[in-house]
Chain A
Amino acid sequence: MLEIRDLHAAVGGKAILKGLNLTVKPGEVHAIMGPNGSGKSTLANVLAGRDNYEITGGEALFEGKSLADLEPEERAQLGLFLAFQYPVEIPGVSNMEFLKAALEATRKAQGKEEWDSVTLLRKAREACKQVNLDAQFLKRGVNEGFSGGEKKRNEIMQMLLMEPKLALLDETDSGLDIDALQTVARGVNSLRGPERGIVLVTHYQRLLDYIVPDHVHVLSNGRIIKSGGKELALELEDKGYGWLTGEEGESA
C-alpha cells in the first residue's frame, strides 16, 4: 500500500531524505527508528504533504498513486493518517465540529456511509473512552489547553474514528508517562488488522514493548541503513545507534 523508492526530500531547501526505500504492505506494522536529525519526522511530514516539505527525487506511492501529486486533504481522503508529534491548538474550532468536518470529507471520498450527528457523537464518545479522554474534550477547541499527553491521546482518538488504511505515528510516545503510553498503545493495537498498515516513527524502543512491530528500520542521514525484525529494536536499545551510524559516518 505504501511504496517508497529512492525518495529524496528537502525541507526549506535543505536536503534531508537522501534515497529512502520502504515498502509497507497491508497488515504490517513497521517501526522507523533513528537518532535525532536522521529524517524520521521529515519522512512523516513529507508523506502527509506539509508545506515546505518537498519531494526532490524518487517517488512515494500510496495505493498506487504518487503522493507528490496529491493535496494533503486528498491523501487523507485516500486513507492516510498522520498522528502529529506536536498537534497544533485551534481555539474557536471545537473538537467535535472538527471531527464532523473531517469524517464527512473522508467518509464521503471513501464511499463509506455517512454518519448522522447522533451516530457521530456516540462513536466519538466511544473513541474518547478508548483512549481515556474525558468526553468533555469534544466540546473544547481542538487541542486548546490540552496537556502534552491529552494532545497525543486526541490524535489517537481521531485515528480510531477515521479508520485509516495507513497510519503514520510521529513520535507519538514522546512526552507520555507509562500509563498514557499503554493507553495509546492499546488504541493503536486495536486498529491492527489485515487491511491496515501502521508506521511508527520513534526514537525510543519502549513504545515497541507495547506495539510489537513486524519490521524495524534504522534511519540515519536520510536513508534506511538497517532493517530487521522486532529484535533489532532490542539490539538498538542495548547498543544505542552509534554502532550503526558510526559505519554510516565512515562510509559517507
Chain B
Amino acid sequence: MSESLPEDLKRQALARAGQAPAEDGALSTLRRDSLAALQSADFPGRKSERWKYTSLHPLSDGHLQHAAQGAAPARLPVLSDYRIVMVNGHLDESQTRLPEGVSLRREAERLDGLSNPFALLNGAALNDAISLEVAPNTEVAEPLHVLMFAASDTPAHCHTRLEVLVNRGSRLTLIEHYEGHGAALTNAVTAIETRDNAQLTHYRLQSEAADSLHIGTLLFQQTGVSRIDSYQLMAGNRLRRNEVIALLDKSGAELAMNGIFVARGRTHVDNQLCVEHRVPDCTSNQIYRGLAGEKGKATLNGRIHIHRGASGTLAELSNKNLLLNPGAEINTKPELEIYNDDVKCAHGATVGQLDAAQQFYLRSRGIPAADAKRMLGLGFINELVMALPDENVAEWVRPWLAAELGQRPEAGEEAA
C-alpha cells in the first residue's frame, strides 16, 4: 500500500486499457493513441488545483478494475420518438431509432482537446462508441434522445463515448441523458463539432441515483459559424465531476451554456468549465445556478480564456448559488485569462442562503417548512427551467428537480 491513490488509479487504468481487444478497426487507432497519452499522464491528487474540491477517494474501492454489468430496467425514460440507448457503455441496437438525416457509426476518433486522464482512459479502454453525423443542410425536427444507462451492485465502471458532427446548414436537438444506480462509475466522453450555419440545442441531463459516480468530459468545437445552446442539468451523487471544454474556432460562432446543479444529502458535484475564444468576434454566454443542502458539496470553476488574436470577443459568465443550510458547501470561481484589449467580458458569482422572510411568508400561509424550502429552491432555478426550449424535456425535468429539492436527508445523516 505504499502506492498513492493517483498512482494506483493509473496502474488500474493502464491494466484496464490493456484488456481492450487489440483488433477493432474502428476503435484501434484511438485506443493506441489514447494509451500512449495515458502512459505519460498523471492522475490528479488533492494538491492538483483543478481537483482541489474533488477527491478521487471514492474510486479507491476498485471501480476501475471491473466492468459494470447491471441490468437496465424494462422502462427507461423516453423523451423523444428518436432514441439511442447504451447500457453499461454498450449500444443496445434493438432500441435505436434514428431520425432522417442522422447516421450512426460505432466509431470514435477524437483525441484533440481531450487531455484529462479520464478522457484518455475512455479512449484507451473503449469497446463501443457512438458517432453521429447530421447530413448537410438537414433540419432534424424531433429531438434525438441518447440515453446512457449504467448500473452495478459492486464497484465497477463503464465508458461511454458519443461523438457528434452537425454539418453545415443543419439543425439538431440532442438530449444526452445519463441514468443509473449502484456503485457504477460512468466515465463519459462527448465531443461535438458544429460546422458553418449549424444550430445545435444540446441537453445534458445527469439524473443518476445518488449512489452512482460520474466523471464526464464534454467538448464542443465550433469549427463553423454556428450556434450552440447547451442546457446542463445535474443532480449530485457520490462523485460527479464534469469537465466542459468549448473551443470557439470560427469568427461569428455563438455559444450559450446554461446549467443547474443540485447537491443534496452527502452528494457531490464539480463543474470545471473552460471556454476558449481562439479567434475574433465570437460570443459566449454562461449562466449556471447551483444549490447545495444538508452536507452536499458543489463546485464551479468557470474559466474563460481569450486568446491574443481574439478581438471583438463577448464573453459572460454568471453563477448564482444557494445554500439550503449551513452544513452545505459551494465553491465558485470565475477564472478569466484575457490576452486582448478589445473584448467585453463580464462575470459574477454569488453564494447566498434561503431568505428567512420568504420562508416565513410561505409558512405563514400554512405551507410546511420543508415544502417552503423546496418551493424556494425551485424558485431559485426556475428562471433557467422556464427557458428550456423543449416542452417534453421541461416536463420531465420539473418533477425530477422538484424531487431532488424535496428529498430529506437519509436516516442517520442528520446525526452524522
Q: When chains A and B are docked, how far (Å) is the Cα of A107 from the Cα of B63?
A: 51
Nearest CB in chain B: distance from A72 CB, A: 4
B153 close to A (CB within 8 Å): no
Look across to chain A and name the residue whose beta carbon is closest to the beta carbon of B368: A73
A76 touches B363 (CB 8 A): yes
Q: How far is the CA of A87 from the CA of B365 in the complex (A)?
A: 12
Q: Which residue of chain B is the closest to A82 with respect to CB atoms?
A: B364
Q: In the complex, what residues of B have CB within 8 A of residue A75's CB?
A: 364
- CB < 8 Å: which of A49, A87, A91, A102 contacts B367? A102
CB of B378 within 8 A of CB of A92, answer yes
Closest A residue to B383 using CB positions: A92
Asked if B73 lies at the interface with its beta carbon under 8 angstroms from chain A, I say: no
Q: Is the CB of B364 within 8 A of A49?
A: yes
Beta-carbon contacts under 8 Å, A23-78 to B: 48-51, 71-73, 75-77
In the complex, whether B360 has a CB less than 8 A from a CB of chain A is yes
- Do B366 and A77 touch across chains, with their CB atoms under 8 A apart? yes
User: Which interface class (under 10, 10 to 19, 20 to 34, 35 or more) fits B?
Assistant: 20 to 34
Residue in A81, A87, A91, A106 whose CB lies within 8 Å of B379: A91
A55 to B163, CA, bound (A): 64
A73-B366, A106-B366, A162-B365 given as contacts; is B379 within 8 A of A141 (CB)? yes
Bound-state Cα–Cα, A143 to B355, Å:
15
Contact of A109 among B355, B361, B366, B371 (CB under 8 A): B366
B367, B372, B382 pick with most chain A CB within 10 angstroms: B367
8 residue pairs, one from A and one from B, having the closest CB atoms: A92-B379, A76-B366, A102-B365, A106-B366, A92-B382, A93-B379, A72-B363, A105-B366
> What is A's interface to B at a CB cutoff of 8 Å?
48-51, 71-73, 75-77, 81-82, 84, 87-88, 90-93, 97-98, 101-102, 105-106, 109, 141-142, 158, 162
Question: Can you add 17 more A-B contacts, CB < 8 Å, to A49-B364, A76-B364, A106-B365?
Answer: A51-B360, A71-B369, A73-B365, A73-B368, A75-B364, A81-B365, A87-B361, A88-B358, A88-B361, A91-B383, A92-B382, A93-B382, A98-B362, A101-B371, A101-B375, A102-B367, A105-B365
Q: List 24 A-B contacts (CB under 8 A).
A: A48-B364, A51-B356, A72-B364, A73-B363, A73-B364, A73-B365, A73-B369, A73-B372, A81-B365, A84-B364, A88-B355, A88-B358, A90-B358, A92-B379, A92-B380, A93-B378, A97-B375, A98-B367, A101-B362, A101-B371, A102-B367, A105-B365, A105-B371, A142-B361
Residues of B participating in the A interface, judged by any CB pair closer than 8 Å: 355-358, 360-369, 371-372, 375-376, 378-383
